[in-house]
Amino acid sequence: MPETPPSTELREEMRGPVMWLTIDREERRNAISPAVLAGLGDALARANSDTAVRAVVLTGTGTRAFCAGADLQSGTSFKFDYAAPYQGFANLFRQARQSTVPLIARVNGACMAGGMGLMAMCDMAVASSQAVFGLPEVKVGLFPAQVLSVLGGLLPRRVLAEMCITGEPIGAAQALELNLVNRVSDDVDESVDWLLGRMLDKSPAAIRRGLYTMKKIEAMAFEESMAFTESQIGLFALTEDAAEGQLAFREKRKPQWSGR
């Protein structure tokens, strides 16, 4: 998969089976632009259509910011075609919800406003100990409406309400305590490597179908969820990876995954 030209606002690089997406707008604290939004959507679509891609890591350039949200300097961040029922940022969240490739947020600095949405749409997140997380939209007369759809299941209701209504941020340690992120470290890349190292040797088929199952049952009632997962476990067992994994267990060797 070719690397995106370095002049773009979203850099793309394949590091082995891992697609790295880096928002490259350091002078704007890696704020979201139309090019960034379009690039993310295109990259996620390609990652999910290519079985060679085992994970996607999303981050920002530098150490100051992961993503500061909408680019308020442009003056056009919230101007849409209001006749269109689906908007670009919301569509990216829909796309992430359908992704069966694990998405990892590498939060290397300030994660604010729409940046919180990018982090929350990912399946896992690791953060620098210097990272801060916030929803400051009320300070400019707005509210993190779309972001609520991906943050609501991650933060306790009262914590989320306080962050939305006061606009005050929280630090990395509190984010970890609230389970907003998986790991916090002075060396954020060490945390990324730790996660990838424990994921890339596992069954690609199990992970893809497993993510599909996890995401499908999130909005289901208990009985609906049980009926769905009852059917899914049988499909897991029919994969080549399931047969190989169980055979390798019996033969006391490392499995050779086919990803099918």
Instruction: Please report which confidence band the pLDDT of residue 4 belongs to, taking 50, 70 and 90 as the band edges.
Output: very low
Is 113's pLDDT higher than 50? yes
Region 3-17: mean pLDDT is: 79
- Across 123-145, average pLDDT: 95
- Per-residue pLDDT tens digits for 197-250: 999 999 999 999 999 999 999 989 999 999 999 989 888 899 999 999 999 999
Question: Nearest 5°: phi and psi at 172?
Answer: -65, -40
pLDDT for res 78 = 59
Task: Could you please state the CATH topology (level 3) that the domain comprising 10-197 is classified under.
Answer: 2-enoyl-CoA Hydratase; Chain A, domain 1 (3.90.226)
pLDDT of residue 196: 97
Tens digit of each residue's pLDDT (9 = 90 or more) over 166-184: 999 999 999 999 999 999 9
In the chain, pLDDT over 90 holds for what percent of residues? Answer: 86
How many other β-carbons are positioned within 10 Å of the β-carbon of residue 254?
A: 8
Residue 2, pLDDT above cutoff 60: no
Band (pLDDT 50/70/90 cuts) for residue 124 is very high
> Quick one: average pLDDT of 50-77?
88
Could you tell me if residue 29 is left (phi over 0), alpha (psi between -120 and 50 degrees) or otherwise beta?
Answer: left
Beta pairing partners, 21: 12, 58
pLDDT at 62 exceeding the cut of 90: yes
Average pLDDT, the chain: 92
Terminal Cα-to-Cα distance of the chain (whole angstroms): 21
Residue with tokens 């389970």, as numbered in its chain: 179
Statement: residue 6 has pLDDT above 90:
no
The torsion of the CA quartet 249, 251, 256, 259, rounded to 10 degrees, works out to: -40
> How is the chain split into domains, by residue range?
10-197, 204-251
Cα distances from 30 to residues 35, 65, 75, 152, in angstroms, run 12, 6, 16, 24
pLDDT-derived band at 44, boundaries 50, 70, 90: very high
pLDDT of amino acid 74: 64
Q: pTM of the prediction? A: 0.91
Give the model's pLDDT for residue 53. Answer: 97
Q: What is the mean pLDDT of residues 22-31?
A: 94
